[in-house]
Structure 1
Amino acid sequence: MKLQLVTFMLASLFGRCHVAPAFGDAFQLGTEQSYSYWNEVRAGNTRNVSLTVGYIVRATIRAATVWGNDEHKLLRFQVESPTLSTTPGDVSRKSTLSEIGSAPFFAYWNLGQIKKIYVDENNDVTLTNFKRGVASLFQYQLLDGKYVEVDPSATCDVQYTSYDETRYRKARSNCVFAGERFERSEYPLRSSTVYSRNVDFTVSTEGSLDNVKAEDYFEYSVNAYDKFGSFLESIVKLDSKGSTVKVKTIQKNTIEEAVKSLGLKEKTLLSEDYIPKCTNKNCDTFAKLINAHKKSLANERIGKQGTSKLFLQLVKLGRTTSTETFQRVLKDEAMQEQRGQVLDLLGAIQTVASHKAAKSFLSFESDEEMFLAERYLQALAVGSRPQKAVIEDLLAMAEKRPNEEKFYDTLVQTVASLANRYAKLPGNSFETNVVQQVQDYLVKQLNRCGKDRCKQKFIRGLHNLKSPQTLNVLVKLALEGSSKTSVAAMKALRSFSVFLWNDEFRATFEDILFQVSKKFDTSARALALDILLDLKPDYDELTHLAQLLKSNDKAYELKQYLLQKLNMLADRCPHFATMLRKVIQNDPRLNNYHVIGARGLSTALMRTYSSVPSFNATLESLQEMSGGVLKRGVVDLALEVGEEKFSMFTLGLFAGGLSSFVSSNDEEENVDDSDSIAGMELSVQGSVFRPLVFFDGKGELMGHVWSGTASEPTPAYQATTLLQDNEQRFALQNGAVFHLSTLGAISIDLNGQVTMSIWGRNAHSKVEQNTGIVVSGSVKLDTTFVSLDVCFVASQEPQLHLTSDLDFSSDPTLCMQVMQPNSVLSQTFERSVSAPMAKYRKIRQTKITHKIAGVTHVLNQKNNNMCNLIAQS
C-alpha cells in the first residue's frame, strides 16, 4: 500500500509539471547548428512615435561545441554574411560588415550561463560588443525560478517562467548597469528613464535552442516638460535553421587548457563604452567655437535663448578642455567684453582644469577684477558637479581670510554651497570629511563674531550648507540673537526640509510667532509662520495659528500677512480651503469683519508662471510691510514637477528705517527705527549670494534721492547658469552602447530702477527679468558601422515685469503690477542615422512652435482698489 501511494504521488507530480531536459542534450560535443540572426534598432521622439530612424542587421550565426562536459562547455561562434540596412534609406548593398564575420570567437558556458568570451585582440570595441550580444543569446535556464545573470547591459535579477515544455520567458529586474552616471539631486531638474527588457525563447524537446526574441525598450524624458524626450527600441531574433553538422573538437583535459590553446583575449559579457573620435578638420573645439560666436556672449545678449544654446555647446566641449586652453581664451584681448560670460562657463564646467584657469586669471587690483572674481565664485556656487579638490582649495583660501570683505563674503557662500551639493552626490553625505571641514569652519568663525554683520555672513554660509547638524546652532541664534541676527537665522531655517522639524522645533517656531518668551522682530515672526504653514497644519494646529488674528497683538501687518498666506494656500489647495472655512465659521470672534478685514499692506500670493506645453512653474510674491513701506519682499520663480518644487531664482528686497519718510503717526508695534538701509538679496538655484546694499544711512539715501542715481535702469544680476545636467549610459542586449544626456541653461538679465519724489511724496519702482531658457537632450547610439542620434531641444524667452507705485501724501497707498509679455516656445526634434562605411547620412527634423499669450496677474481686490486710487490722483 505504501509503495502504491508513493508511486501515485510521483505520477501526480510528473503529470502536473514538466521536467526540463538536461543541458547536456542542448550543446552536444562536436556538433554545430546554424541560426538566422536579425536585429532591428529604431529611435524617435515620444511626441510622435511614427517618425523614427533605425537600422537592421542580418547575418547567419553558426554555433558549435568544441570542448566540454556536462557542466562546462566551450562554444565557438562564426558570423557569416552580415548586412546592414538603414531606415530611412537602404545602404545594404554598400555595406556588408565584413569585419564582423572575419574570425570566429568563443564563449565559456557553465550551467546555462556565459561566463567569458574570447575574441581576437585586434577587434575594435563595437565589434567585440556585437559578439557579446550574440553570445548572450545562448544564455538561458530550463527551470523556473530567479537567477542572477550578467549580459552586455548589466548584472540583473532574472525571473524564468515556462509556458509549456518548450516555451520560456525571462524578465530582467533590479539591474546594476555598468558605467558612470550623473544626475542632479533635484527631481524637477532630472530626466526619467523607463525601460523594459524581456526575452522569449523556445527550445527543442532535447533542450537545444530553437529560437530567441529579445526586446529592449528605453524611454527618456525631461521631468520639467510633459512628454518631451525620445525612445530607443531594439528587437533581436535568432531562429534555428534546423541543420546540425559534425565539427572537430579541441583535445584538452580542462577548460583552462582549451582556452589557452586559442590564443585569444578574454572578455566579460559587459559591453565596453565606445566614444567615436572626431576625424573631420571642421570638428569644434572650445576655443574655436567661442571665437566663432563671440557676439552671442556679449553683455547685451544675456537673457536671450541664443546665449543659453551656445552655453550648452561650450559646457560639453569644456569638460574635456585643458587648463592652458582656458587660459588662452581668458587672456585674449579680443575676449575682454566676454570674460564675465567665460567665467560663467568655467563655473558651470566645474573641472579641476577650469578651476585652475579661472584662479590663475583672477586678481583684485580694480573694481572690474573684483567683479569678475565674484562672478566666477557665484557661477561655481550653482554648478552641478562640485569637485573635492576645488572645495579644499577654496576652503584653504577662506582660512587665509582675504582682505577684500565683499570677495571674502562671496567666497564663504561659495564654499558652503559647493559642500552642500557635494554632500548630495552618490556615496557622500553631510558626514563626509570635506563637508565636515566646511561646517566646522563656518561654526568656528560664527562663534568668533561679535558684530551682527559678521554673524550674518556666516549664518548665510550655514544657510547654503543646509547641514542638519547645524539646526541647533541656528535655532539658538534665532531665539537669543539680536533682531537682525534672529531674522538671518530664521531665513536659514526656512530653507531646510520640513521633514526635519519635530514637535520640539514646532514649539520653538510657535514661541517666536506668538512671542511667548520675549518680543521678536516681525520678519522673524513671519518666517516662523511660513515654516508652521509649510508643515501642513491639521485642524487643531490651524485653529491655534488663527488665534493671532483676534489677539491684541499690535503688529497688524503681521496679521495681514497671515491672512494673505491663508488665502494663498486656500487658493492652491481645496482641502485646506475647506478646513480654513470651518475654522473661521466655528469661532464667532474670528468670523467678523474687524478680524478678517484687518488693515495692512502686506501681501502673499502665488500665481502660475507657465504651464504645458512649456515647463510648469509658479511665481510666489511675499511683501511684508512696515509703517507703509516695504520691510521684506520676496519674489520666487519655482519649477514644479508633481509635488516636487525647485526654486530657480529668488529676488529678495529688504529695507529698514524708512517709515519716517512715509508716516509719523503709525501705531504699529515694533516699527523699525534703525538707520536707513535698503538692499537686495539674490538666491540662484538655492544658493544665497551676499546681499547688494543700495544705501546704508540717511545721508547716503538722500544722496540717491537728490542725485537721481537710482532712477536709471541698473543691472542687478547678469549670468548664465546650468539647470539640467544629466548623463546616463546603457547597453542593449545586442551589445551596442547608447548614451542619454540632458543639459539645460538659463540666462538671466535682471535690472531695476527706483524713482522717489520727496515733494510729491510718491515713489515708483520697476524690476525687469529677462530670461533665455534652453533645454537640450539626446539619445545617441554609436558604433563603427552605424550611428543613431535623436536630439530634442526646447527654447523660450519668458519675461517678468514687476512695477510698484507708492503714494504717501496721505494714507499710504501701494499699487503693484506683475506682468508677463508674450513669448514663444520652440521645440525641435532631430533624428539622424548614418553608416560611416557606406558614407551615408540621413537627417529628419520636426519643429513645433507654441505662441504663449502674455498675462497681467490678478493680485487681490485690495491692490486693485489702491491701483484705482493712484490712477485717479
Structure 2
Amino acid sequence: MKLLLVVLSVVSLFGHCHVAPAFGDAFQLGTEQSFSYLSEVRTGSARNASHTVGYIVRAKIHVATMWGDDEHKLLRLKIESPTLLTTPGDIRHRTTLSGVGSTSFYIYWNLGQVKKFFTSKNDDATLTNFKKGVASLFQYQLLDGKYVEEDPSGICDVQYTSHSSTRYHKAKNNCQFSGDRFERTEYPLRSLIRTSRSVDFTVSTEGSLEKVVAQDYLKYLVNAYDNFGAFVESVTRLEIEGSSKNVDTVSGKTVDDAMKSFDVYEQTLSSEKYEPKCDGGNCDTLVKLIKTLKKSLTNDHIGKQDSSSALLKLVQLGRATSAEDFLRILKAKTMHDQKAQLLDLLGAVQTTESHEAAKSVLVYESDVDMFLAERYLQALAVGSRPKRAVIEDLLAMAENKPKDQKFYDTLVQTVASMGHRFAKLPGNSFDTDVVENVKDYLLRQLNSCAKDKCKQQFIRGLHNLKSPKTLNALVKLALEGSAKVSVSAMKALRSFSVFLWNDDFRATFEDIFFQVSKKFDSSARALALDILLDIKPDFEELTHLVQLLKSNDKAYEVKQYLLQKLRMMADRCPDFAEMLRRIMQRDAKLNNYHVIGAKGLSTALTRTYSTVPSFNATLESLQEMSGGVLKRGVVDLALEVGEERFSMFTLGLFAGGLSSFVSSGDSEDNEDDSDSIAGMELAVQGSVLRPLVFFDGKGELMGHVWSGTASEPTPAYQATTLLQDNEEIFPLQNGGIVKLSTMGAISIDLNGQVTMSLWGRNAHSKVEQNTGIAVTGRLSLDTTFVSLRVDFEVEQEPQLHLTSDLNFSSDPILCMQLMQPNSILTQKVVKTITVPGVKYRKRQTTKMSHKVSGCTHALNQKNNDMCNLIAKS
C-alpha cells in the first residue's frame, strides 16, 4: 500500500507541474555535431500561389558543446559553406554567401531553452538575424504544455503537443515584436493579415535533437478588395548528419565566466531592424520624383488615376523630407501649375517638417492664396497621421481669429477633424489634453455666438470632433435652437456612434420626430428619424414609429420620407422586412393605400455602387423635398467590408425659399418661408467642409438667373487625399523581416452646373463627380544578400453623374437621374528577386483589366413616371 501511494504521488506530480524533462544525451560536453541546414522562402500573389519568386539557402551547421553540465550548456555554432540559390531548384543562380560563415556565435542552452545569444560585434543586422534564426532552432521542449519563448519572431505564446515519444509539434501565437506599426482606425481601410507559425521536431530516444522543420506563412490582403494582396511562406529545415567528434572545452563557474575568453557580445533572440541602402547616386529624392511626375500633378489630372498614383509614390519620400526641401519645391516657379497638388501632398505627409513648409501658404493676400491655404487645411483634415504639434499650432492660429471668415471656418473644421483623428490613435482618447483643448475652444466660441450663422460654424466643428462630451450641448441646441441651428445640431448628432444612444437620447429624438414639445423643422425631424432607425428598433419601437403614417400630421413629405426609409431598410435587411410586414398586416389602417400610397416627392434609397473585382461600395441617396423643390439632398458613397461601413465622400445639397418660384399654390406642406438660399455641403472621409453657398437672398438668385453664371460647369471641390495608410512588419523564424504596407488615394473632381428659365418655367442641374482611385501594396523582405518583393496595385476611374430636370409650368414635375458611366479596373502584380552581390535581378509581372459596365440607378416608380412626363413635354 505504501508503494502504491508513492507511485500515485509521483504520477500526480507529473500531472500538475512541470518537471525537468529528460534531454539525456543532448549536446554532450566536449563533442561537436553537424547538421544540414536549408531555408526556403517564396512569395507571390494572394490570388495565384502557383507563380512565385524566392530563394533557398543551404549550409552546414556545426554545434560544439564548450561548457556545462546535464542542464546548462554553452554551445558554439558555426555555419559552413552557406550557398544561395534563387528561383528554387535552378543551379544557374547559385551564390556563395562569403560573409555568413566567417565567425562563430554562441548560445546558452538550459533544458531546451536558449537563455542567451552571443555574436560578433562586427556582424551587420541581417547576418545577426540569420544567426539568430539558426540558434532558435535549438529551442525545444519535451513536455506538453504552454510556454513563453523568445526567438526571431519576438516573444511568443507557444503550445507544445507530443505526437509520440520522439515527435513533437510547437504552435506559436501572439508574437510580440518591437517595431513600427500603423493602421487606419477605420476597418474597411485596413489590411488583413492571416498567419501561421509552427515548428515540428524529432528527437532520439535519448532526447537529443535530430530534425527540425519550422514553418511561417503569411497572407497580406487589402480589406477593400476581395482576396487582393500577397503572401510569403518560409520553411526552414535542420537535420543531423553523421557522427559527433571531440572538441576542446572551456572552464568557468558560470556561463558568463566561460564567455570571457570570446570576443562577442550578448543580444536578445528577437530580430534586429534592417533598412536597405540605395546604391550611391541612384537614391530617389522628393525633388527628383516630383520632376518625373510633374505632368500627373496638374489640374487636368485631378479626378483621374494618374493623380492618385502620383500622390502614393510621393508620400513615403515626403515623410523623410526636410522643411527646407519642401519650401524649395513650393517656391519653384516651374511648379506654379502643380502647387495645389503639392499642398495635397503636404497634407497627406503630415510631419512637422511638412507643416513648417506649408505655413508659408497660410499667409494669404489674394483669393488665389486663400484657395491654396484652404486646400492645405482640407488635406490636413482628412490626413491619417495627425501630429500634436500641428494641432496646437493651428489651434493657436484659430484663437487669434483670422479676418477672412471663410478661411477661419475652414481652420476651425480642420482643427476639429484633426482632434477627432488624434483621439482615435493608439494611446489617445477624447480625454487627451490636446483633444480637450479643441473641445473647450469650440464650446467656448459656440457660447459666445449671437447669430445662427456663427453657431452653425462651431456646430460643424463639434460634428467633426465627435467628442461624446459634447452630446448634451448638441441635444440642447437641437431642442431649443432656431430651425437652422436645430438642423445643424441634428446633423452633428447623426454622425456619432449609435452605441452612445441610451433611452434618454432615444426619447429626445422621438420628441423631435413626433413634435411632442413643439414644432420642429422637417429636416430636423428627418434626421431624428434616421437616428432612431440607425439604433435598430425592436418590434414595439418600430410599431411606434410607423404610427406617424396614419396620423393627422400635415407634413406629407416627412411621411413620404419615413415610407422611403422603411422600404430602403427592408430591401437591405430581410429580418427588418419581416418585422415591418408583421406590423403592417396587423393594423388595417396602416396597411391601406391612403397610407402607403401617400403623396410626396421625397426619396430614400441605397444602391450597389461597385462590387468584385472592384471595391465593395454602396450609394445612398436621400432627397427631402418641400413645396415641390429640393430642401435637403444627400448622396453618400460608402466603402463596405462585411458589416463595417466607411463614408468616402458625401455630397449634400440644401435649399430654401425657392417654393414661391415653383409652387402651384398647394401650401399644405410648405414650411419654407425663409430667404432664398442654396448651397452644397461636402464631407470627405467623414470630415465636413465649410459649405459652398451658391446664393443667399433673392437678389443673388435673380442675378444668377439673368446672367447665367451657373450655366457652365463650375468646380466645387478638387483634391487628392489618402485612403489606406497601413504599415507593419512580420519577422520570420529564419531571421528575415517582412515589411508590409498598403497605401490608397482618391482624387476627386466635383463640378456642377444649373440652368433656369423663368419664361419656360423649368430648370436643369447636373453634378459630376469624377474620381481616380489608386491602391498600392507591398510585401518585401530585404537582406544584404538577397531581396524579395511583391508589389500589387489597382487603379480605377469611376464616375457618378446626378442630373435633375424640374418643370414648374403647372404642378411641379421633378425627374432625377443617377448615372454611372463605364469604367475600367486594372490590377497589376509585380514579383521581384534581387541578389545585390552579383547584380542579379528577376522580375515577373501580371496585369489584368476588367471592364466595369455603367448603369442608371432605378430610383422609384414615381420618379420614373415624372421622367416620362418630362420626356413627352
Query: TM > 0.5 between the two?
Result: yes
Classify the secondary structure of the residue corresponding to 2:777.
strand
Q: Which residue of 2 aligns with 1:103?
A: 103
- How far apart, CA to CA, are the structure 2 residues paired with 1:21 and 1:143? 7
Q: Which residue of 2 aligns with 1:685?
A: 685
Change (3 A) 1:429 1:610: same
1:16-75 deviations in Å (ceiling 9; x for gaps): 999975346423222211100001000001111001000000000011121223443221
- 1:223 pairs with 2:220: no
Q: Is the 8 A contact 2:361 2:372 kept in 1?
A: no
Change (3 A) 1:601 1:41: same
- How far apart, CA to CA, are the structure 2 residues paired with 1:165 and 1:612? 50
Q: CA deviation at 1:7?
A: 4.9
Change (3 A) 1:10 1:686: closer
Classify the secondary structure of the residue corresponding to 2:121.
coil
Q: CA deviation at 1:447?
A: 1.1
Q: Which residue of 2 aligns with 1:288?
A: 288
- How far apart, CA to CA, are the structure 2 residues paired with 1:70 and 1:421? 57
Change (3 A) 1:804 1:108: same
Q: Which residue of 1 aligns with 2:520?
A: 520
Q: Which residue of 1 aligns with 2:486?
A: 486
Classify the secondary structure of the residue corresponding to 1:281.
helix
Classify the secondary structure of the residue corresponding to 2:455.
helix
Alignment of 1:25-424 (within 5 A): 25-87=25-87, 90=90, 94-424=94-424
Q: CA deviation at 1:166?
A: 1.4
- How far apart, CA to CA, are the structure 1 residues paired with 2:6 and 2:317? 74
Q: CA deviation at 1:757?
A: 0.5
- How far apart, CA to CA, are the structure 1 residues paired with 2:606 and 2:862? 16
Structure 1 unaligned runs (5+)?
none
Q: CA deviation at 1:667?
A: 2.6
- How far apart, CA to CA, are the structure 1 residues paired with 2:251 and 2:690? 77
Residues 571-580 or 470-479, more deviating: 571-580
Q: Which residue of 1 aligns with 2:812?
A: 812
- How far apart, CA to CA, are the structure 2 residues paired with 1:340 and 1:8? 81
Classify the secondary structure of the residue corresponding to 1:252.
coil
- How far apart, CA to CA, are the structure 1 residues paired with 2:448 and 2:686? 27
Q: CA deviation at 1:205?
A: 2.0
Structure 1 runs of 4+ off > 6 angstroms? 8-20
**Match for 2:600: what amino acid?**
G
Change (3 A) 1:15 1:717: closer
**Match for 2:792: what amino acid?**
F
- How far apart, CA to CA, are the structure 2 residues paired with 1:316 and 1:792? 16
- How far apart, CA to CA, are the structure 2 residues paired with 1:617 and 1:696? 35
Q: Which residue of 1 aligns with 2:714?
A: 714
- How far apart, CA to CA, are the structure 2 residues paired with 1:14 and 1:651? 68
Q: CA deviation at 1:9?
A: 8.1
Q: Is the 8 A contact 1:636 1:647 kept in 2?
A: yes
What's the C-alpha RMSD, in Å, of the aligned pairs?
1.8
Q: Is the 8 A contact 1:91 1:840 kept in 2?
A: no
1:102-123 deviations in Å (ceiling 9; x for gaps): 0101112233222332211111
Residues 74-83 or 256-265, more deviating: 256-265
Q: Is the 8 A contact 2:678 2:696 kept in 1?
A: yes
**Match for 2:735: what amino acid?**
G
**Match for 1:782: what amino acid?**
D
Q: Which residue of 1 aligns with 2:748?
A: 748
Q: Is the 8 A contact 2:21 2:111 kept in 1?
A: no
Residues 376-385 or 401-410, more deviating: 401-410
Q: CA deviation at 1:224?
A: 0.5
- 1:430 pairs with 2:430: yes
1:699-753 deviations in Å (ceiling 9; x for gaps): 0111011000010000001110011110011110000011010000111111000
Q: CA deviation at 1:422?
A: 0.8
**Match for 2:208: what amino acid?**
S
Q: CA deviation at 1:346?
A: 0.4
Classify the secondary structure of the residue corresponding to 2:99.
coil
Q: CA deviation at 1:157?
A: 0.8
Residues 679-688 or 531-540, more deviating: 531-540
Q: CA deviation at 1:590?
A: 1.1
Alignment of 1:440-839 (within 5 A): 440-663=440-663, 665-669=665-669, 671-839=671-839
Classify the secondary structure of the residue corresponding to 1:310.
helix
- How far apart, CA to CA, are the structure 2 residues paired with 1:88 and 1:806? 68
- How far apart, CA to CA, are the structure 1 residues paired with 2:13 and 2:329? 78
Q: Is the 8 A contact 2:636 2:651 kept in 1?
A: yes
Q: Is the 8 A contact 2:664 2:810 kept in 1?
A: no
**Match for 1:831: what amino acid?**
K
- How far apart, CA to CA, are the structure 2 residues paired with 1:119 and 1:332? 51
Q: CA deviation at 1:563?
A: 0.8
Q: CA deviation at 1:261?
A: 2.6
Classify the secondary structure of the residue corresponding to 1:425.
coil
Q: CA deviation at 1:320?
A: 0.8
Classify the secondary structure of the residue corresponding to 1:256.
helix
Change (3 A) 1:529 1:264: same
- How far apart, CA to CA, are the structure 1 residues paired with 2:14 and 2:112? 23
- How far apart, CA to CA, are the structure 2 residues paired with 1:830 and 1:161? 40
TM-score, normalisation: structure 1: 0.98
Change (3 A) 1:406 1:587: same
Change (3 A) 1:9 1:455: closer
1:417-474 deviations in Å (ceiling 9; x for gaps): 1111111111111111111111111111111111111111111111001111111111
- How far apart, CA to CA, are the structure 1 residues paired with 2:116 and 2:11? 40
Q: Is the 8 A contact 1:677 1:697 kept in 2?
A: yes
1:504-560 deviations in Å (ceiling 9; x for gaps): 111110000000011111000000000011111122111111111111111111111
- How far apart, CA to CA, are the structure 1 residues paired with 2:16 and 2:72? 31
1:259-304 deviations in Å (ceiling 9; x for gaps): 2331212211111111111115333211111112211111011111
**Match for 1:734: what amino acid?**
N
Change (3 A) 1:263 1:651: same
**Match for 1:596: what amino acid?**
I
Change (3 A) 1:10 1:446: closer
Q: CA deviation at 1:141?
A: 1.4
- How far apart, CA to CA, are the structure 2 residues paired with 1:84 and 1:285? 32
Q: Which residue of 1 aligns with 2:865?
A: 865
Q: CA deviation at 1:257?
A: 2.0
- How far apart, CA to CA, are the structure 1 residues paired with 2:166 and 2:202? 5
Q: CA deviation at 1:5?
A: 5.9
- How far apart, CA to CA, are the structure 2 residues paired with 1:15 and 1:458? 66
Q: CA deviation at 1:15?
A: 13
Aligned length: 873
Change (3 A) 1:333 1:19: closer
**Match for 2:177: what amino acid?**
F
**Match for 1:119: what amino acid?**
T
Q: Is the 8 A contact 1:20 1:165 kept in 2?
A: no
TM-score, normalisation: structure 2: 0.98
Q: Is the 8 A contact 2:801 2:820 kept in 1?
A: yes
Classify the secondary structure of the residue corresponding to 1:726.
strand
- How far apart, CA to CA, are the structure 1 residues paired with 2:721 and 2:671? 39
Q: CA deviation at 1:90?
A: 3.8
**Match for 1:613: what amino acid?**
P
1:640-682 deviations in Å (ceiling 9; x for gaps): 0011000000000111111111115233346121111111000
- How far apart, CA to CA, are the structure 2 residues paired with 1:669 and 1:18? 80
- How far apart, CA to CA, are the structure 2 residues paired with 1:570 and 1:754? 35
